A = this chain, B = another copy of it.
């Protein structure tokens, strides 16, 4: 039963709960720091008179806020949306107040966000950098000022930690699987990948092919930006126009590119998949949320969404609490997800 009388500030709330303001303040800072009997009195009052401390007044004086910034390069990419959701939830569970930002693929916007993030006085930041186009200097400055954990895309030696996937292993795993089950794959990627992970994946492919004694073949699609599906589709059409892929098996650098390739194949009337009538196999990497729903469903390498986000938040929590600053790097292996496209 909430009383109608509105509580203006902590002073008033303290008086209605029969306590002093500093005590109440202590409670809101850390509920465990007051005696159990005091705690219940405050919590009863909280149910009766709805009151919330003014966040602006709180953060003005606290040296360490409970704010956490989450910055991803492109939120319209379901992969980042999904991992952001995951990370956000874990931050809340860890007692932080996360705020989500997207650079929308724009390096200058990324820097702007870092700027406004600074004035948030965040306890820490979880950041997936844009990658290739990120302005390293600015990010470095930021990491020096604010405890920052990088994820997904690494910038060597920056921040408290990096948490991501072992992208080399991703491609090796997939390449090996493809070689084992059919014609050795060619590798399909963007000419100018927006992300250093792409280089690791290419290298993984090359390594695997070398190891298995096959001739690697890398095909590049032109195009810039974040419209990966379109780049994949156009690129594949180009390839078909000029004689087709050098192998009947195409390992794409990521799922979104693969989705574009699937579309191109459909438009060319080329059957994709494992059944006898199909003439081409296509595989992706990432386990994009829609990979299971392509036609045919996309064989891919699953990122450890949960593990990555969990570990990243853990790293940040630890660093914030201990104040340590030694750089750590953690890579998770991917798992093969066999579906019908390859």
Q: Point out residues on A near B: beta carbons under 8 Å.
A: 52, 54-57, 59-60, 75-76, 78, 81-82, 84-85, 88-89, 97, 99-102, 104, 115-116, 118-121, 229, 233, 259-260, 262-263, 265-266, 289-290, 292-297
Contact = CB atoms under 8 A, between A and B. Distances in A.
Given A75-B75, A76-B81, 15 more contacts: A52-B115, A56-B56, A56-B59, A56-B121, A60-B60, A75-B84, A76-B78, A85-B102, A100-B102, A229-B290, A259-B293, A260-B293, A262-B295, A263-B295, A266-B295
A186 to B, nearest CB: 21
Contact of A57 (B60, B75, B296): B60
A83 to B, nearest CB: 10
Contact of A233 (B85, B119, B293): B293
A71 to B, nearest CB: 12
A265 B295 CA distance: 9
B294 A295 contact: yes
Nearest to A288: B290
A283 to B, nearest CB: 16
A55 B120 CA distance: 7
Contacts of A57: 56, 60
A52 B81 CA distance: 30
Contacts of A84: 75
13 contacts: A54-B119, A56-B56, A56-B60, A75-B84, A76-B289, A81-B81, A85-B104, A229-B290, A259-B290, A262-B293, A262-B295, A263-B292, A266-B296
A81 B85 contact: no
Contacts of A266: 295-297
Contacts of A262: 293, 295
Contact of A75 (B81, B233, B294): B81
Nearest to A57: B60
Contacts of A294: 263, 294-295
A263 B88 CA distance: 31
Given A76-B78, A78-B76, A81-B78, A55 B119 contact: yes
A59 B58 CA distance: 12
Nearest to A275: B269
Nearest to A84: B75
Contacts of A60: 54, 56-57, 60
Given A229-B293, A260-B293, A295-B295, A85 B76 contact: yes
B76 A119 contact: no
A263 B84 CA distance: 27
A8 to B, nearest CB: 13
Contact of A78 (B55, B78, B100, B263): B78
A75 B74 CA distance: 12
